[in-house]
Amino acid sequence: MSTCSSVSRDFDEPVSGTAATAKTWLLIEQPGPWGAKALTSSHLDPALGRALEAAAKDTGVRIALIRRPGRHADRRMPAARRVYVAHVVPGNVWLHSASASDPGQLLGLDFPSLGRGDHQTFDTLLGGRPHDGDPLALVCTNGKRDRCCALLGRPLAAELATSGVDDVWEVTHLGGHRFSPTVLVLPYGYAYGRAEAHSLKEVLHGAREGRIVVEGCRGSSAWERPGQVAELAVRTRMGEHTAEALSVVRTVGSASRWEVTVAHTDRRRWQVEVAQGAGLPARPESCGTSVLGSPARMDVVAVREVRMAAALAG
């Protein structure tokens, strides 16, 4: 059976530069079935889902629903649901958790402040505290978005959970279902595609130690797509694995070519030239459509280290 993910794999489509973008993630526990637009088509009150979407719009906050792996059809909601919020911009990375008996409380959050990396309202409103467990492994399993997420994501989430990996959750949507199984790892916000249990365990082990595994990485959600591929290119070239060592500090260009400046905490800088091309030959970009498309791909044209004097002059 041909699926969008098998076609993408057959064409060896690169995963770099394909992560969903969000500076802050708000994750709300919601067992039971999910529709294609889960915030408004699940057992969460759809009016509340619409209000949360409106509150988060243009703030840098992305909201997703999560549930524990396993059977989930019409599971009853626990008295208190788990809520996480994570800010993933290097230099101010954090992951806080809380319990909420009434999800309507979340409308009291200051979404613009959360998007800027301030967790005060989350802590004050919900009694949030820094997450003291292992990194979160969020596996996209929403088959209503694309069947690949269910066919490939659910077995991965179940295998991780049964093998003793803590803090594994199913999540509603991470984008790029043709790269299923797709996984987001928090607190650092790096996404992975075509994930397998053994490689993901290495990713999670690295995240516990503050290291980023580049193999299979789609990019950091902190950056737009040109920045994602540029940052990963510098990591690969320099062998840099420290989680918060690199930041995208400048992106200039058009819709098809960019010059991205990547900065290291030790003050080194690189200019990365990124070009957008089309994935060929044309293929279905989703199992939910028969229309053939040419998905955009990001290619690194050049990586050049910038000497300090030149960087300061610029």
* Per-residue pLDDT tens over the stretch 59-118: 999 999 999 997 665 566 677 899 999 999 999 999 999 999 999 999 999 999 999 999
Eight-class DSSP state of 242: B
Burial of 118 by CB count in 10 Å (0-12 exposed, 13-18 middle, 19+ buried)? middle
The Cα 12–Cα 179 span in angstroms is: 10
Residue count (the chain): 314
pLDDT of residue 56: 98
* Per-residue pLDDT tens over the stretch 180-215: 799 999 999 999 999 999 999 999 999 999 999 999
The Cα 66–Cα 127 span in angstroms is: 20
Q: At 179, is the pLDDT very low, low, confident or very high (cuts 50, 70, 90)?
A: confident
> What value does the mean pLDDT take over residues 289-303?
83
Q: Which residue has the tokens 């365990």?
A: 201
Q: What's the chain's Rg over C-alpha atoms?
A: 19
Q: Which residue has the higher pLDDT, 165 or 48?
A: 48
The Cα 282–Cα 289 span in angstroms is: 13
The Cα 56–Cα 26 span in angstroms is: 9
> What value does the mean pLDDT take over residues 267-280?
92
Q: At 145, is the pLDDT very low, low, confident or very high (cuts 50, 70, 90)?
A: low
pLDDT of residue 72: 61
Q: Regarding beta strands 269-278 and 292-293, do their DSSP bridges make them parallel or antiparallel, or are they unpaired?
A: unpaired
Least-confidence region, from 22-36, 222-236, 275-289: 275-289
| Helix, strand, coil share (%) of the chain residues, nearest 5 | 30, 30, 45
Q: Which residue has the tokens 């300090």?
A: 308
Whole-prediction pTM: 0.92
DSSP-assigned letters across all residues of 180-223: -S-EEEETTTEEESS--HHHHHHHHHHHHTTB---TTEEEETTS
Q: At 176, is the pLDDT very low, low, confident or very high (cuts 50, 70, 90)?
A: confident
